[in-house]
Amino acid sequence: MFGFSKKWNPDGKHVYITGGSTGLGLSLAIILTKKGAHVSIVARNQGRIDKALAQLEEVRASPSQLLKGYSHSLDTAAASTAALEEVCAAHGGEAPDAVFACAGASKPMFFVEMTEEDLVNGMTAGYWVQAWTAWAAAKMMAKQEKKGRIALVSSTLGYMSFLGWASYSPAKHALRGLADTLQSELMLYGISLHIFFPPTMFTPGYDEENKTKPQIVKDIESADDGLTADQAALALYKGVESGQAHITGDLITSLFRASTRGATPRNNWFLEGIFDMVAYIATPIWRSSVDKRVATHRTEHREYLTTKGFFS
């Protein structure tokens, strides 16, 4: 907390990254490969995995680094466990030194238009794909008494929310709940738990979510500057390197981190006091402007629902 602790050095360590073929996961894989880590990525699409591995090969720090990719779904406990086991087989079955659960997706929509499937899939893609990896990894590390690191990826929407995110924000809040639980519980095994809260990231996943995102949600987000995948990956890496429990990489999310800290270990007492004071004034102003925008949107939204046959 006071910067006295030794920084994590991934050189020669085995790092497992889910969602490592694209976006944040790929950018992180590149950073860790450059740092000399043995990097294993898991993703679904074999073509994208091959392309990602080619990129990693270009930046390898030494010929002895193992750079591997595997195609797995991570939607279930069994699938995530199988993925972890295959990843570890290339390392004699030893648990990874660090696990970065970067897999995830979102599909913003209006709540009353969501189907059961939209809500269930939102929890799977936003929460379970990471929770199952954390569960499989924590059990393996604890059994092997490996003092590893596990990092989850939430979102600014794990600290706050607004219209459109009813299938996604609950999942990202759930990750925070899991991380805060495990940050305490995995101390029993010397395993450290980190969670990253990125803002809008300009990744393939962002293009995907924009396909269903209502216009009013886009309008509200337009104030958000966002990060590239590389910027976000660097913030995540630096946060884990210095042992932060909650990691943020942009000012807005840092304000939310400071103002939703509760009992979460703090990164910097002085700075977070300042952030919190700013947030104390700024978030209600932001909130009030969003509320006004939503209230103003009522008539247009009613017309939209009418054309969609909602009332008939």
| By CB under 8 A, residue 261 contacts a second copy | yes
Q: 13, 68, 107, 172: which one is catalytic?
A: 172
Count CB atoms within 10 A of the CB of residue 168. 25
Among 111, 225, 274, 306, binds a second copy (CB under 8 A): 111
Residue pair 271/135 in contact by the 8 Å Cβ criterion: no
Nearer to a second copy, 45 or 310 (CB): 310
Burial group, residue 137, by CB count within 10 angstroms (0-12, 13-18, 19+): buried
Candidates 18, 294, 260; CA nearest to 133 is 18
Q: Tell me the three state secondary structure of residue 225.
A: coil
| Beta-carbon contacts of residue 310 (< 8 Å; ≥ 6 apart) | 112, 113
Any contact of residue 70 with a second copy (CB under 8 A)? no
CA distances 176 to 127, 237, 299, 301, Å, are: 10, 18, 35, 32
Q: Which of 59, 105, 163, 278 touches a second copy by CB under 8 A?
A: 163
Annotation marks residue 168 as catalytic:
yes
Residues 265-284 that bind a second copy (CB under 8 A): 265-266, 273, 276, 279-280, 283-284
Closest CA relative to residue 192, chosen from 134, 133, 263: 134
Q: Which of 24, 83, 88, 160 binds a second copy (CB under 8 A)?
A: 160
- Under 8 Å between Cβ of 174 and 275: no
Stretch of residues binding a second copy (CB under 8 A), selected from 7-15, 35-43, 162-170, 231-239 = 162-170
- Residue 16 in the binding site for a second copy (CB under 8 A): no
308: tokens are 């969609």
The piece of 57-65, 110-118, 205-213, 221-229 that touches a second copy (CB under 8 A) is 110-118
Of the candidate spans 50-58, 61-69, 127-135, 226-234, the one that interacts with a second copy by CB under 8 A turns out to be 127-135
If DSSP codes are grouped into helix, strand and coil, which group holds residue 44?
coil
Closest distance of CB 261 from a second copy, Å:
6
Residue 73, interface with a second copy (CB under 8 A)?
Answer: no
Residues with catalytic roles: 168, 172
